Amino acid sequence: MRIMVTGNMGYVGPAVVSHLRQQFDGCTIIGVDTALFGHCLTERGLPEHLVDTQVFSDVRDLTPDLFSGVDAVIHLAAISNDPMGVRFEQVTDEINHRATLRTAELAAASGVARFVFASSCSMYGYAEEGARRETDPLNPLTAYARSKVAAEAGLRDISARANMLITALRFSTACGFSGRLRLDLVLNDFVASALSTGRVSVLSDGSPWRPLIHVRDMARAIEWALGRAEYDGFLAINVGCEEWNYQVRELAEAVKMAIPGVEVDINANAPPDKRSYRVNFDLFRRLAPDHQPRVTLPAAVADIHDGLVASGFSDANYRSSDLVRLNVLTRGIESGQLSADVRWLDRRTANHRDQSSLPFRREA
């Protein structure tokens, strides 16, 4: 099996590639990434040693030849959260929506059988009154969420026209340690704050709901999507589990319990957070009984904590570091390496990208 993974050099990609390498013996993995965050390493060594070929390309610029002989595409590439969506609203639509559909069209034209799209549970918007199912109305409140809704609508049409099996995995909020860790995710941020300052500061009143999922369980869900039954061409499905529907204050308290001496500050006077939502995962439980999330909240906290400690993390100003992805894009533009629409301008980087791809020798 030849599997293309776009966005493999981000936060989730290393866990996905590692899982694929373990589960699909003899598969060929092609990584495709523009390497905006390639330097954001939090483990020794390059995660890309597990891919067979690394292609350096902006997902907006993919060419048909890249899909030759590919059996499945896992599409992770995206502008990946709400703060970046606010700062780069048009780019978010270009990459998350339009480039996603173009990638799927190219895949379909090349005879790719399966396309797995990393979507989001955030498209349900404010949903305090009950856990949201796949059949419930969508109410995207941010540029990021709107881009995912638009991408899903287009993918549904492509699947019907091209007879390609497309799975939109509406992931819960990601967490967990990674070879390219992000600290702009709620649980990751809480653990980093506890380690570096001894405090967890909750900017809301702690009541908003956040369904979470560990990156390793995201990888297991992607494995399921690659082999799911072909009863329907297009499927959008909530990915997570009921046990991971937590209020933000509960996440903060879990970190406090795990790390001695940590204090929790909650802003009781904060205005309501309209991104509060609970999600129903009954469909995923029914269709993917053998690929249910395994990592618990205490285990996830321990994973993030141990990974940060092993990496020597101690930066109390980490929210200004490259472990917050918005900072990487902002500095890239300010330094003249990136254009306003988040494309490489630096000549040395451009020349490197012109080499098209880099093969890696994998250890036996």
Query: Tens digit of pLDDT for each residue in 260-316?
Result: 999 999 987 777 666 678 899 999 999 999 999 999 999 999 999 999 999 999 999
Say if 280 falls within a structural domain. yes
CA angle 321-324-328, nearest 5°? 75
Q: CB neighbours (10 Å) of residue 275?
A: 19
Walk across the sheet containing 72-75 and list its strands: 234-239, 165-171, 114-120, 72-75, 2-6, 28-33, 53-56, 357-359
Q: Which helix (H) or strand (E) holds 266?
A: strand 263-266
Give the pLDDT confidence score for residue 357 in this predicted structure: 43
Say if 46 falls within a structural domain. yes
Mean per-residue pLDDT, 318-339: 95
Say if 345 falls within a structural domain. yes
Cα 38 to Cα 58: distance, rounded to the nearest angstrom: 13
Chain position carrying tokens 């709400």: 82
Cα 189 to Cα 199: distance, rounded to the nearest angstrom: 11
Mean per-residue pLDDT, 206-230: 94
Start-to-end Cα distance in the chain: 18
Say if 220 falls within a structural domain. yes
User: Considering the chain, what percentage of its residues have pLDDT values greater than 70?
Assistant: 93
Cα 93 to Cα 150: distance, rounded to the nearest angstrom: 9
In sign, the C-alpha dihedral spanning 219, 72, 39, 58 is negative
Q: What are the Cα distances from residue 348, in Å, to 61, 345, 354, 355?
A: 19, 9, 10, 11
Say if 326 falls within a structural domain. no
Residue 322 phi, psi dihedral angles, 5° rounding: -75, -5
Residue 214 phi, psi dihedral angles, 5° rounding: -75, 150
Give the pLDDT confidence score for residue 361 in this predicted structure: 34
Say if 261 falls within a structural domain. no
Say if 87 falls within a structural domain. yes
Give the pLDDT confidence score for residue 157 in this predicted structure: 97
Domain limits for position 55: 2-182+212-245+276-295+336-359
pLDDT tens column, 31-54? 999 999 999 999 888 999 999 999
Query: Number of structural domains, the chain?
Result: 1
> How many helices and strands in the chain, by DSSP H and E?
12, 15
Residue 184: strand, helix, or coil = coil
pLDDT tens column, 167-199? 999 999 999 999 999 999 999 999 999 999 999
The β-bridge partners of 238 are 170
Mean per-residue pLDDT, 133-160: 95
Does 7 score more than 90 pLDDT?
A: yes
pLDDT tens column, 77-93? 999 888 898 899 999 99
Give the pLDDT confidence score for residue 128 in this predicted structure: 65
Residue 258 phi, psi dihedral angles, 5° rounding: -85, -25
Cα 104 to Cα 114: distance, rounded to the nearest angstrom: 10
CATH number reported for the structural domain that contains residue 57 in this entry = 3.40.50.720
In sign, the C-alpha dihedral spanning 277, 278, 283, 285 is positive
Q: What are the Cα distances from residue 111, in Å, to 7, 107, 181, 201?
A: 21, 6, 34, 50
Cα 129 to Cα 277: distance, rounded to the nearest angstrom: 9
Q: What are the Cα distances from residue 240, in Å, to 24, 79, 141, 180?
A: 23, 21, 21, 22
Residue 238: strand, helix, or coil = strand
Say if 188 falls within a structural domain. no
CA angle 289-285-162, nearest 5°? 90
